[in-house]
A and B are shown apart, each in its own frame.
Chain A
């Protein structure tokens, strides 16, 4: 595509009109042209800027995973199922107020609270449900983190809040996000326009495991059952349940996954990252271990944060059972393979993986291995 084409036009052609947008918010919050609204990025006007941040920061356009991995971990991208790993453990919060409304073990909330309290960061960018609509918010106190517990499974433009944040002199920010959101953050560090963003203030990135998310139209399904503001938690229990559950204070709704899947955005089928690989530490469910999280520690910073949390008595950890690790690896590998197959199907060419830049032999290896 012509480099002279305005960045917004490229974003529209390559991502938005192709159904590749994961609604991470990386292109929003910086200008009046792109506005996240009800689960999609609305283009408000045409913009003539050719070298634009919206286009550069989008994780669905030309992410060089090798460059990103070298920037974050100092090594080339390995394409291992769960990414770079220092340690994989299980953990759970020891903070009662966190665990009350936690999705699983409350580990992500406690880690970000500890990061705020210990001065690793002064601000955190989190997802929060506001009247049933997930939004990115910035918080600066551990108490505010409590309002952001749990998952709605709805796509959320978290990074809009990251861009809107106006830091003061020594402010450092921590971001909690899904694989697409944290990939965007990592990718931003490698962009030529990175200086025109808050990325240099990002001192901590906590990833959340994700298999897929849901578009906002799913809210209509939930709204038929209960006011959206009354839904306190949404969860997908491990197989063989095959349902999505939504909870109010006194009720629980089970929706068959087959009825839920039509609401999965097309971009999720192309995502090959289940465990948020480009982060300091990633947190997800620990299958079969209720009330616990699987935690993948990827960087020294992530490791120190976990240690601090444990030493302060706010987090407890244990070894991850090997069977769980094997299952995690297998699930992540299958997601990669499915994503690559879907990409090849969409592009029509085995060598064209749409926005992903990955070595050819790596692709072949993943496509061959089950």
Chain B
């Protein structure tokens, strides 16, 4: 692959969707990029940060998505082009700023990329961002391929500057992480100096006027979208059915038409600009058929808006019908697949199509069994979070008051997975919510609440959204134990740096924001523990839980095991003395394998004893403290 910055217009490259978005931004002459990491969006900023110096742009991992938008807005106010990217969960965090930024307007092109995760593969929800964007009333793009992602990004900057509002591009996992051919364009040279014109105001007042301006802009955008190259029809002249798609729905639709050989009967409309709806374009497409099937990811967003256009135009009646999620032809939850779309199309066209049998997935799993290792989603061997949650679980059991964890978003959420976790986490909402909920629970003692609660968050999450909750607990004298799992990484999203690690997004040295000092500055008692010191930590945690004395912070500090450089020796050589191992007898019952559940420990069925999987074990030695017979031993690695 050529460098992302190569000025090689016309050259075709293989790019993943997020690289294509980054390329589109570079072609548009972007100067500032800000983001908070989260799958499936992280690669956009990562790619821009990697070429920041060369391309003369500034890239940062902001502490959260709201700040990222504000950083992008600042560049825009100063006349520069900026791109802000995050996953769909981040849109919620950024919303407070975005729902005023649409009123204040922008100057330099500002593009906000939101990457949705249909099916919630790497997310705590599969929320559809589009309804929020419609509510924000700003232009919305939905690319279907990396090529479109690049081209739309570039064009979105133009539109943003033309209309004075920011644009949102909704990508999805299957676009952001799909590899496709992309024809590169020119990289724009933009050397306009940043300057804030103090004769202009970027404020949300007078509100009524600003609101009116927004509506005017939307009408302006609608007219532009009517002629957009990203909205088009492919198919026969007089189709009996038209599939109207957005995002990757276009590809699934094309596959379904081809699979069922309906090229002469069914046409496909791709709607690349989905808000505001280009009504005239849509009406034209509707006029050529009496039946429409809408194919889109997650919510029936396009479907509902089409119905509004269809009703307004008088198209919608008993003989003119729009099918989709509301009609039950396409399931309303989870990610789309070609099979789902094929089944829907077959049903509507009367084509006989043998649906995939219900056993298909199981048979596929069986067929793949010998090819891939059967692995549950769980903490890595040597993960400090396993040690921490083992400690928390034990402390709760010893305490005996039915304690629980108010959790957060990060690798530690794997505690909720029975295969590897200990299920101490009973509440998990959003980033920073663990501490906020705990702060609330800490005030319920006056109503008889006596269960101990530990709020847990990661280091990156602490900076992101937990600090206000901690201040809230302090201010309101709430009894909260807040545990910050400091593994020196934003591990779950791919080890992007954060304010605690001393490096910025562009790889330059950065000041460390000391969590401990910050908490002490709030006059909150702080204890720092090594999570691997399980016995002492358990004892201390029980003491802390028995003492209801307001907000307290425990920092569990140990670097993520994946940060260990390849080839570096393990701390310990761990082994099992099988002459001591009690196996599945009363008194043990495979305690290490069954209860502690580190994947580095495996069960030797032949001998009925535990053993260390040397290919997996990273020698943390934590499991030695779980063995009732002291059969698991560790010695320092040579």
Contacts and interface: CB of A to CB of B under 8 A. Distances in A.
Interface of A: 7, 30-33, 35, 37-38, 40, 42-45, 47-49, 51-53, 193, 196
B591 A37 contact: no
B628 interface: yes
A7 B586 CA distance: 10
Nearest to A39: B400
Contacts of B589: 31, 33, 47-49
Interface string B579-592: 00000111111010
Contact of B586 (A37, A38, A49): A49
B398 A42 contact: yes
B123 interface: no
Interface string B383-400: 000000000001001101
Given A31-B628, A32-B626, A32-B628, A40 B400 contact: yes
Given A45-B591, A45-B595, A31 B398 contact: no
A29 to B, nearest CB: 10
Nearest to A52: B586
A42 B400 contact: yes
A53 B628 CA distance: 15
Contacts of A42: 397-398, 400
A32 B591 contact: yes
Nearest to A50: B586
Contacts of B591: 31-33, 45
A43 B394 CA distance: 9
A105 B585 CA distance: 45
Contacts of A40: 400
18 contacts: A7-B586, A30-B586, A32-B588, A32-B595, A33-B589, A33-B591, A35-B397, A37-B398, A42-B397, A42-B398, A44-B394, A45-B591, A48-B589, A49-B584, A49-B586, A49-B589, A53-B586, A53-B587
B594 to A, nearest CB: 8
A48 B586 CA distance: 9
> How big is chain B's contact interface, by range?
10 to 19
Given A31-B586, A44-B595, A51-B586, 7 more contacts: A31-B628, A32-B626, A32-B628, A35-B398, A38-B398, A44-B397, A196-B586
A51 B585 CA distance: 10
A364 B591 CA distance: 46
Q: Please report whether the interface of chain A is mostly helix, strand, loop or mixed according to DSSP.
A: loop
A196 B582 CA distance: 12
Contacts of B586: 7, 30-31, 49, 51-53, 193, 196
A49 B595 CA distance: 13
Contacts of A196: 586-587
Contacts of B595: 32, 44-45
| Closest 3 A/B residue pairs (Cβ) | A45-B595, A31-B587, A32-B628
A138 B585 CA distance: 25
B133 to A, nearest CB: 47
Given A31-B628, A32-B626, A32-B628, A37 B400 contact: yes
Interface string B449-467: 0000000000000000000
Contacts of A49: 584-586, 589
A5 B165 CA distance: 66
B637 to A, nearest CB: 27
Nearest to A32: B628
Contacts of B588: 31-32
A48 B589 CA distance: 7
A265 to B, nearest CB: 14
B415 to A, nearest CB: 14
Contacts of A31: 586-589, 591, 628
A58 B158 CA distance: 78
Interface in B279-328: none
Interface string B552-591: 0000000000000000000000000000000011111101
B603 to A, nearest CB: 13
Q: Which of A32, A47, A196 has the most CB of B within 10 A?
A: A32
A44 B589 CA distance: 13
Contacts of A37: 398, 400
Nearest to A44: B397
Nearest to B596: A45
Q: Which of B400, B585, B587 has the most CB of A within 10 A?
A: B587
A49 B584 CA distance: 8
A1 to B, nearest CB: 18
A277 B585 CA distance: 33
A48 B584 CA distance: 9
Nearest to A7: B586
B587 A43 contact: no
Interface in B382-424: 394, 397-398, 400
A53 B594 CA distance: 19
Nearest to A6: B589
Nearest to B587: A31
Contacts of B394: 44
A30 B584 CA distance: 14
Q: Which of B394, B589, B594 has the most CB of A within 10 A?
A: B589
Contacts of B585: 49
Contacts of B594: 48
A51 B586 CA distance: 8
Contact of A30 (B398, B400, B587): B587
A43 B589 CA distance: 15
A49 B587 CA distance: 9
Nearest to A45: B595
A37 B397 CA distance: 10
Nearest to A46: B595
A35 B396 CA distance: 12
A33 B589 CA distance: 10
Contacts of B400: 37-38, 40, 42
Contacts of A52: 586
A42 B584 CA distance: 21
A220 B585 CA distance: 39
B134 to A, nearest CB: 49
A43 B626 contact: no
Contacts of A48: 589, 594
A40 B401 CA distance: 12
A276 B626 CA distance: 36
A37 B594 CA distance: 23
Contacts of A51: 586
Interface string B590-634: 010011000000000000000000000000000000101000000
A196 B621 CA distance: 29
B520 to A, nearest CB: 30
Nearest to B591: A32
A40 B626 CA distance: 21
A23 B634 CA distance: 34
Q: Which of B394, B398, B586, B628 has the most CB of A within 10 A?
A: B586
A138 to B, nearest CB: 18
Nearest to B627: A32
Contacts of B626: 32
